Amino acid sequence: MALPLMAFNLVNVLYGFVDTHYISRLGELQVGAVSIMSNINLCGSAFATGLSAAGMALISSALGAGQRKRAGQIATTLFAIAMLIALLISGSCLLFPRQLLTLLNTPQDIFEYARQYLIGLAPNFICVYILTIFQAFRQSGGDTRSAVILNIAASILNALLDPLFIFNFNWGMMGASLATTVSKLLVCPIALIGMFAPQQDVRVDFRKHRFDRSILKEIVKTALPASTGTFAMEFGFIIMNSFILSYGSIIMSAYALGNKVSSLFYIPINALASAPVPLVGQAVGAGNNQRARQCFRETMLLGLGLSVGLLAIGLPLTRPLAHLLVGNASSELLENGIIYGCFSIGTIFFMVWINTILAMFNGSGHTRSSLFVNLLRLWMLRLPLLLFFRTFTDLGPLGIWMAMILSNLLCGIISQIWYSFHFRRLYPVN
């Protein structure tokens, strides 16, 4: 389950390296603008993440119980909701880019770069929702390859279009975001064909599956906490960016650089932690609680081994990778980016711990618990720690990186306690 997702994440990260390299040639402030836009992009995609979590939980549970007709009803309703939300978000970003950026207190020195990037990225939300829902359909049945292949193709196209749109057509920042949009537009028809294909076990069929209020209610009940949690988390990152920007736009760019470097080492961890979702859903649907709980133990053991290896490899490589990405940048940007990259790599195991617990809750349909974990990590821990370090210490940007590690550690401990009492009570093993 995890290996195809690792391949997808690897291609995405490598594309991110290429993208950062090209954008850094436009200037250091442009790198910071993209970092701000990445959180806005993730906020807009929050509902896709929530719908995907609901889809995988409900469809995999229906398949585990042998209810294929019900799985089709859920898929059809899920697709309709996703397209409606995607159209609303894309239209808002396209029509009101200045208002959105002003609302987020975007600094003036990067405002115009962010506006250009947002306009080019606006139609991409429709593509993101299509591909995310397609992945949920396939992954709920145990197929992690089909959606991964499409996403890999989009990432490769994106990397090829970047220099053409940015430099050859001289479209600058808008060219970078348009490359992302166009690359996904080219693969979306394949995903749509796959979702409507008659031979698929889980497919969209508006003629066969009429509107069912009970299905809609169940999707909303499951998706809303997951969407709210993801949105709250990403909006929290936007608030966090304001803390980082208080130290200057160069520190914001350093944060973006550190994220790019560390993301390479998060590839196997992120893939591993997302793999249990459909397995847990199918096990719960079949009434096999022992297998559901075994997913947690196996994932954590694998995650611990991977984390130790990645930590040993990642720390020595942080500096050369940072120079490879933005070798012509100032020493201030490079040094701060390297420091944050090391801190981020140092928190790898905490993230696999948190994400595995989230996978258990999402896979079993208990997305309210996922909402609690997401709110805990950012709003109850990280943001207060950021405020504390900025107000009561003279650590400067170092306080930001320390707040991130401490919030992940504390979130892991509290989430484990919640999982031990809540999940095991709901799914006892005789």
3-state SS string for the chain: CHHHHHHHHHHHHHHHHHHHHHHHCCCHHHHHHHHHHHHHHHHHCHHHHHHHHHHHHHHHHHHHCCCHHHHHHHHHHHHHHHHHHHHHHHHHHHHCHHHHHHHCCCCHHHHHHHHHHHHHHCCHHHHHHHHHHHHHHHHHCCCCHHHHHHHHHHHHHHHHHHHHHHHHCCCHHHHHHHHHHHHHHHHHHHHHHHHHCCCCCCCCCCCCCCCCHHHHHHHHHHHHHHHHHHHHHHHHHHHHHHHHHCCCHHHHHHHHHHHHHHHCCCHHHHHHHHCHHHHHHHHHHCCCHHHHHHHHHHHHHHHHHHHHHHHHHHHHHHHHHHHHHHCCCCHHHHHHHHHHHHHHHHCHHHHHHHHHHHHHHHHCCCHHHHHHHHHHHHHHHHHHHHHHHHHHCCCCHHHHHHHHHHHHHHHHHHHHHHHHHHHHHHCCCC
Torsion of CA 208, 211, 215, 216, to 10 degrees: 140
Residue 430, pLDDT score: 58
Torsion of CA 182, 263, 267, 358, to 10 degrees: -100
Predicted model pTM: 0.74
How many domains would you assign to the chain? 1
User: What does the block give as tokens for 31?
Assistant: 């790198």
Residue 410 lies in domain: 2-426
CA distances from 124 to 44, 130, 169, 340 (A): 10, 10, 20, 30
User: What does the block give as tokens for 118?
Assistant: 């947002």
Distance CA 192, CA 204 (A): 9
User: What does the block give as tokens for 423?
Assistant: 């999940």
Query: Using an 8 Å Cβ cutoff, are 69 and 374 in contact?
Result: no
Residue 271, pLDDT score: 85
250-281 pLDDT, tens digit each: 887 888 888 888 888 888 888 888 788 888 88
Q: Please, which contacts does 299-304 make with residues 24 or more away whose CB atoms are closer than 8 Å?
A: 299/272, 299/273, 299/275, 299/352, 299/356, 299/359, 300/352, 300/353, 300/356, 302/272, 303/269, 303/272, 303/273, 303/349, 303/352, 303/353, 303/356, 304/349, 304/352
Exposed/middle/buried for residue 104 (C-beta within 10 Å: 0-12, 13-18, 19+): middle
Distance CA 339, CA 397 (A): 10
Choose among 349, 385, 377, 186: nearest CA to 273: 349
Residue 411, pLDDT score: 94
Distance CA 338, CA 336 (A): 5
* Spatial CB neighbours of 2, under 8 Å, sequence gap ≥ 6: 144, 268, 271, 272, 274, 275
Residue 381, pLDDT score: 93
- Which residues of the chain have a pLDDT value below 50? none
Give the amino acid at 230: T
Residue 96, pLDDT score: 92
